[in-house]
């Protein structure tokens, strides 16, 4: 039987859409709808390689998304709508994950959730609407700034904290044993060092904490990863251009499961979503299990 029961996914999506409706201009708390709209629309399409820290000489190597501002997830603000590059993935992804794995939408209430790679914050807002506290990080400054702006504008700073930070910079003690749930869809294939990333996130969980992960992957039985590389397309189809600076490693389901176990997770389940090249992963931190240190790029990792 498929883990992705269509009816259950639809029911969860409907509930999530309902919760997300709270983020409309009628509910703004610290700015007027006009100021809000102006701020958002002025950001979209802006090109700012300098403030992202890129030198002219390396621009051709960078991801379009890192340089030019693209909105992340679709958002109907009531007065106006913004279409994101990820469409309504924030809704569908969470609906998929709670359908597929032993976590319900109700389980998020009162929890500390680590939202890794939040883009313009659609998922962070959605998680907050489930009643949890969200700590969101994003490596691209302009997206972290936008997500933080939305949080302030909707007056939910007591529940959502957004920081510009790479997940590789979440290795310090302040991150240890901190979260109940690590929410990690759509990011691991962007990472040069997925095992270190998984270990950092494992360390960030409390004992009993849960990892919810999703990634692009490959449909292979064997535990293999395909190396894609940054795939810089300066010309080509829209799809190719969209993928500029896209993926590093694409795992098979069993490769992802092995990586998660190596990082310390127990009860690991990985599953390929039928008819797609997306893999979903679940794991628990049952103890502060050790890691094999041979060859690690961060030898002093906990
Ligand atoms: C494909 S989007 C996924 C967004 C969202 N998590 C989702 O599932 O819809 C990946 C996001 O992760 C961010 N990202 C990539 N590498 C990162 C890193 N090392 N640390 C933090 N964020 C990162 C990207 O900038 C981008 O905003």
Q: Is 137 in the pocket of ligand 1 (CB under 6 A)?
A: yes
Among the listed residues 198, 117, 208, the one whose alpha carbon sits nearest the alpha carbon of residue 165 = 117
Which atom of ligand 1 is found nearest the CA of 65?
Answer: 25
The tens digit of pLDDT for each residue in 64-96 reads: 888 899 999 999 999 999 999 999 999 999 999
Distance of alpha carbon 302 from alpha carbon 296, whole angstroms = 12
Residue 208: the pLDDT is 98
Q: Which two tokens stand for residue 57?
A: 């000489």
Q: Is 119 in the pocket of ligand 1 (CB under 6 A)?
A: yes
Position 1 confidence tier, pLDDT thresholds 50, 70, 90? low
Which atom of ligand 1 is found nearest the CA of 168?
Answer: 19
Place of tokens 């095992």: 195
CB-count burial class (<10 Å; 0-12, 13-18, 19+) for 127: buried
Phi, psi values for residue 123, rounded to 5°: -70, -35
Q: How many whole angstroms from 262 Cα to the centroid of ligand 1? A: 22
Q: How many whole angstroms from 87 Cα to the centroid of ligand 1? A: 15
Phi, psi values for residue 182, rounded to 5°: -100, 120
- A 10 A CB-CB count for 41 gives 11
Q: How many whole angstroms from 1 Cα to the centroid of ligand 1? A: 31
Position 3 confidence tier, pLDDT thresholds 50, 70, 90? confident
pLDDT of 171 > 60? The answer is yes
Q: Which two tokens stand for residue 51?
A: 């403030």
Q: Is 190 in the pocket of ligand 1 (CB under 6 A)?
A: yes
pLDDT of 101 > 90? The answer is yes
Q: How many whole angstroms from 250 Cα to the centroid of ligand 1? A: 15
Q: Which two tokens stand for residue 139?
A: 């490596």
Between these two residues, 158 and 67, which has the higher pLDDT value? 158
The tens digit of pLDDT for each residue in 250-297 reads: 999 999 999 999 999 999 999 999 889 999 999 999 999 999 999 999
The tens digit of pLDDT for each residue in 109-149 reads: 999 999 999 999 999 999 999 999 999 999 999 999 999 99
Distances (CA, A) of 196 to 142, 202, 237: 25, 10, 34
Give kind and range of the element (H or E) at residue 267: strand 266-272
Identify the residue whose C-alpha is closest to ligand 1 atom 9: 90
From 87, 182, 190, 200, give the residue whose CB has the most ligand 1 atoms within 8 Å, as the site to mutate.
Answer: 190
Identify the residue whose C-alpha is closest to ligand 1 atom 16: 190
Position 244 confidence tier, pLDDT thresholds 50, 70, 90? low
Which atom of ligand 1 is found nearest the CA of 66?
Answer: 25
Distance of alpha carbon 180 from alpha carbon 113, whole angstroms = 6
What's the average model confidence in pLDDT over 221-241?
81
Distance of alpha carbon 13 from alpha carbon 33, whole angstroms = 27
Q: How many whole angstroms from 234 Cα to the centroid of ligand 1? A: 22
Mean of the per-residue pLDDT values of the chain: 94
Sheet (strand 205-216) strand order: 160-164, 133-138, 112-116, 179-185, 205-216, 278-284, 266-272
Identify the residue whose C-alpha is closest to ligand 1 atom 12: 117
Q: b or e along 137-158 (b: 16 or more beta carbons within 10 Å of the residue's beta carbon)?
A: bbbbebbbbbbbbbbebbebee
Q: Is 139 in the pocket of ligand 1 (CB under 6 A)?
A: yes
């Amino acid at each position: 039987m498929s883990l992705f029961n269509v009816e259950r996914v639809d029911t969860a999506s409907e509930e999530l859409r309902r919760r997300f409706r709270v983020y409309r201009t009628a509910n703004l708390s610290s700015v007027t709808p006009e100021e809000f709209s102006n701020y958002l629309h002025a950001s979209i399409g802006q090109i700012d390689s300098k403030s992202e820290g890129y030198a002219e000489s390396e621009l051709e190597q960078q991801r379009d998304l890192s340089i030019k501002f693209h909105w992340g997830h679709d958002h109907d603000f009531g007065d106006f709508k913004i279409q994101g590059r990820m469409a309504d993935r924030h809704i569908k992804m969470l609906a998929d994950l709670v359908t597929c794995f032993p976590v319900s939408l109700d389980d998020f209430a009162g929890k500390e959730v680590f939202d890794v790679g939040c883009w313009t914050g659609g998922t962070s807002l959605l998680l907050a609407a489930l009643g949890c506290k969200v700590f969101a990080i994003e490596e691209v400054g302009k997206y972290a700034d936008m997500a933080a702006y939305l949080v302030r504008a909707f007056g939910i700073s007591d529940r959502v904290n957004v920081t510009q930070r790479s997940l590789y910079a979440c290795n310090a003690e302040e991150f240890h044993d901190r979260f109940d749930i690590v929410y990690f869809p759509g990011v691991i294939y962007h990472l040069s060092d997925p095992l270190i990333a998984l270990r950092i996130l494992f360390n960030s969980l409390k004992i009993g904490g849960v990892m919810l992960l999703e990634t692009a992957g490959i449909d292979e039985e064997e535990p293999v990863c395909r190396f894609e590389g940054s795939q810089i397309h300066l010309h080509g189809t829209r799809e190719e251009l969209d993928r500029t600076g896209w993926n590093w490693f694409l795992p098979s389901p069993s490769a992802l499961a092995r990586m998660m176990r190596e990082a310390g997770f127990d009860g690991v389940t990985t599953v390929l979503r039928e008819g797609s090249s997306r893999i979903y992963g679940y794991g628990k931190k049952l103890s502060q299990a050790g890691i094999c240190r041979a060859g690690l790029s961060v030898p002093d990792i906990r």
